[in-house]
């Protein structure tokens, strides 16, 4: 079957997580992605382990680098820079995540490449953007979570600030990059022009504070940590059962009435302290304590059966192995295998142009000779490039 982006060539100068995640999303949709890495070392996540797969690749690198080709290119060497420009002249998209000005110093900035390829879409991912007082600082996910306010609202109310279990600022920046590139490609279809995309982890972090940021901007009151509870919806948190935890998400009064019936406490639904969500938020401690006492007396399976029968949103708090091996994950084909490597598959399901896994993450420089040959370099020239440390 066809893929949606099969006609696109993407040059990926990025490393670690945000940029590689973006290019993997686009590669899953069919784009050809050439990952450009430093000779001898490559993307540093190749060595971020254990665990390592049998082929020596780290689990971290495997997570975001499938469906790509890898070439090595010494961007500090004039010939390496010339090869990069030649590739860029043929590409649809270029992604990089160096500090501002780094690519320009190598003759590979947007203003350098635009005359060679006016249709090029050039996406720069940095910690703080191309301008502003912090522009020249390197960006690290956990620092962005701290400075962008996320850690201040994550964790138990009386505990220390807490980061999330996944590098969520990097991942969401990767998703922003992918969607921004697709928007720029759409614009190019009728304008014929490429453009420059300046994407900052810090900006992205602020953008998806969503209702929490909005609450502050409306009220002027700094948001605080609620642990696993919700600031403005009650009950909306996990509760302990006899053998684990169950997440309950009661989003409206009809659900709360059914929830009370399932707990054999129908009187709560008409109690003026709890009958409406604003009342429950005001009397949070009382209702949560009462719910916790009831739910602690039965198993997770017992409550799952009763609450789902009552059409109350809920689910067990699973560990990662349970989630990945769940019947829903299996039914959706979320765990894929290629060349003996298991990985989480693409999330979108297209009816006509499916997202696919066509190749495993590449060994460092595995495609260097083939790509250079496509550019017209002879076998002797390619050997010379290897001998001189250019590739």
Q: What residues are labeled active site?
A: 170
* DSSP tally for the chain: helices H, then strands E: 17, 11
Name residue 10's beta-bridge partners. Answer: 33, 93
Residues 56, 128 contacting (CB under 8 angstroms): no
Q: How far apart are CA 188 and CA 176, in angstroms?
A: 18
Number of Cα atoms under 13 Å in the Cβ half of residue 240: 5
Q: How far apart are CA 123 and CA 96, in angstroms?
A: 6
Please list the alpha-helical segments (H only) found in 310-378: 320-324, 327-331, 368-374
Q: Which two tokens stand for residue 40?
A: 């001898």
User: Dihedral through CA 298, CA 304, CA 310, CA 313, nearest 10?
Assistant: 120
C-beta neighbour count of 331 within 10 angstroms: 8
């Amino acid at each position: 079957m066809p893929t949606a982006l099969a006609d696109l060539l993407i040059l990926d100068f990025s490393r670690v997580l945000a940029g590689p995640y973006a290019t993997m999303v686009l590669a899953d949709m069919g784009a050809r992605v050439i990952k450009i890495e430093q000779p001898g070392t490559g993307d540093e996540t190749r060595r971020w382990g254990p665990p390592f797969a049998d082929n020596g690749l780290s689990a971290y690198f495997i997570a975001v680098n499938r469906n790509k080709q890898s070439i090595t290119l010494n961007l500090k060497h004039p010939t390496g820079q010339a090869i990069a420009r030649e590739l860029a002249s043929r590409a649809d998209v270029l992604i990089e995540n160096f500090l501002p000005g780094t690519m320009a110093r190598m003759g590979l900035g947007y203003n350098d490449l635009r005359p060679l390829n006016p249709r090029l879409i050039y996406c720069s991912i940095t910690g703080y953007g191309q301008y502003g007082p912090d522009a020249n600082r390197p960006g690290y996910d956990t620092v962005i979570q701290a400075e962008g306010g996320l850690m201040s609202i994550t964790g138990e109310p009386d505990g220390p600030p807490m980061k999330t279990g996944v590098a969520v600022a990097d991942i969401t920046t990767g998703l922003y990059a992918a969607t921004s590139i697709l928007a720029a490609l759409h614009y190019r279809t009728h304008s014929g022009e490429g453009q420059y995309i300046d994407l900052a982890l810090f900006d992205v972090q602020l953008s998806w504070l969503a209702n929490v940021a909005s609450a502050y901007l409306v009220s002027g009151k700094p948001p605080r940590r609620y642990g696993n509870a919700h600031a403005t919806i009650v009950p909306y948190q996990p509760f302990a059962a006899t053998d684990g935890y169950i997440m309950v998400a009661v989003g409206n009064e009809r659900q709360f009435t059914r929830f009370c019936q399932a707990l054999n406490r129908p009187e709560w639904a008409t109690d003026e302290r709890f009958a409406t969500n604003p009342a429950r938020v005001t009397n949070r401690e009382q209702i949560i304590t009462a719910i916790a006492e009831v739910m602690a007396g039965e198993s997770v399976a017992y409550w799952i059966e009763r609450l789902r029968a009552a059409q109350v949103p809920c689910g067990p708090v699973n560990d990662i192995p349970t989630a990945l091996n769940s019947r829903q994950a299996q039914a959706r084909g979320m765990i894929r295998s290629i060349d003996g490597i298991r990985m989480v598959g693409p999330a979108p399901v297209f009816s006509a142009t499916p997202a696919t896994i066509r190749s495993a993450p590449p060994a460092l420089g595995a495609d260097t000779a083939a790509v250079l040959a496509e550019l017209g370099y002879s076998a002797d020239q390619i050997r010379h490039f290897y001998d001189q440390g250019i590739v």
